[in-house]
Amino acid sequence: MTGSGAGAAGSPVQPCGVPDPCAEPWSKVYQEVVKVDAMTDIRDRNRAISGSYARLYQSSPDLKWAGAAAFASKQVGCGMDTAHTYLDNYPGGIEAATRDLANSGSAIDPATLTMYDARQTLAAGNLAVYDELYPALRFYQQNNNSMSKDQILACMSHKPPPPLDLSITRGLKQIMDGNPNGGALTMLRHEQFDTLQNVAYDKSWLFRRSLDLSRLTGYPPITFVVSAACMSSDPAYVVNFKDFGGALYDPDKRWPFAQECANRFINLVDSPESSEIEIGAPASREAVNQALGEIAHGAPSP
């Protein structure tokens, strides 16, 4: 047995009859997660998810994935709002569109059907990423000061079902080994190539159609904006997919865009404080942290 209390196989070791030391900390995490999962308004749930990521990063700045995810999730909400604005023009609004789609989907005009599907698919992807990555990162944040690295990694294998993907554990290990940027990119690659690809991009042909329309028309623009707002006039805070080319639902084409989004956030928060920046510098860590605070405080309680 190692000095950390972990067995050779990586699982916590305790005498017979002694409770699993991972059980109570995981229970605490999931008391929070289930409240978010249960939110019925998908836009409010999106705001809660974005706020959860922002608070997670504020408490543990080594969790760079969470900081970038706060802005990515906020941007998902912006896309949901664009679709909602269109659906508001449907006779009776989104409630009527939802009812008519359930009763006679074939009678709904293609544009309404596409916008409704885009909103639902964005919400599904947002929740899937949250459910998979947030619990592990929250567990780490809550127990990093009371557990050793080996104990935390061992508890990852004791997570309530479904099992944690090894990429997330590998990313956490990188973070605990002093490589937070590498850990963020490891988690991001799994999020993009596996979770979102399966839940959103591969699942809905209508969603892919809406992305093709966006690519052809430029509306709505597919952007990552390091701001509490949906848009920014300062290019230092914006990554635009149109600068990369290809279809967003192609993971190999999307990956350079996703990497640049994460790296843009990392470079901003790793920049000097505003007082140390040269006059005329376009961005600062102070501004990014202020935006994270707005996202955190603007989130509804689940």
**CA pair distance 206, 221, nearest whole angstrom:** 17
Q: Which residues pair with 239 in a beta bridge?
A: 224
141-160 confidence digits (pLDDT tens): 999 999 999 999 999 999 99
AA letter at 302: P
Average pLDDT of span 227-256: 95
Determine the pLDDT at residue 299: 82
205: CB partners within 8 A, 6+ apart: none
Within 13 A of 24's CA, how many CA atoms are on the CB side? 5
In the chain, % of residues over pLDDT 90: 70
Determine the pLDDT at residue 283: 54
Determine the pLDDT at residue 157: 93
3-class DSSP state for residue 263? helix
**CA pair distance 56, 50, nearest whole angstrom:** 10
Determine the pLDDT at residue 300: 83
Determine the pLDDT at residue 273: 57
**Residue (of 45, 48, 50, 98) closest to 73 by Cα position:** 50
The answer to whether residue 111 scores a pLDDT higher than 90 is: no
pLDDT level of residue 113 (50, 70, 90 thresholds): confident
Average pLDDT of span 10-34: 78
**Cα–Cα separations (whole angstroms), residue 154 to 20, 23, 158, 173, 207:** 11, 12, 7, 11, 38
Average pLDDT of span 17-29: 87
**Phi then psi for 158, rounded to 5 degrees?**
-105, 15
202-217 confidence digits (pLDDT tens): 999 989 988 988 888 8
The answer to whether residue 282 scores a pLDDT higher than 50 is: no
The answer to whether residue 293 scores a pLDDT higher than 60 is: yes
Average pLDDT of span 259-264: 98
Q: Specify whether the backbone of 10 is left (phi greater than 0), alpha (psi in -120 to 50) or beta.
A: left
**CA pair distance 73, 133, nearest whole angstrom:** 13
53-100 confidence digits (pLDDT tens): 999 999 999 999 999 999 999 999 999 998 877 776 677 766 777 777
Q: What tokens appear for 16 in the block? A: 């017979």
Q: Could you tell me the pTM of the whole model?
A: 0.87
H-type helices in the chain, by residue range? 23-37, 42-59, 64-87, 93-104, 110-143, 149-156, 166-176, 180-190, 205-217, 251-269, 285-297
38 or 284, which is more confident = 38
**CA pair distance 281, 279, nearest whole angstrom:** 6
**CA pair distance 273, 281, nearest whole angstrom:** 11
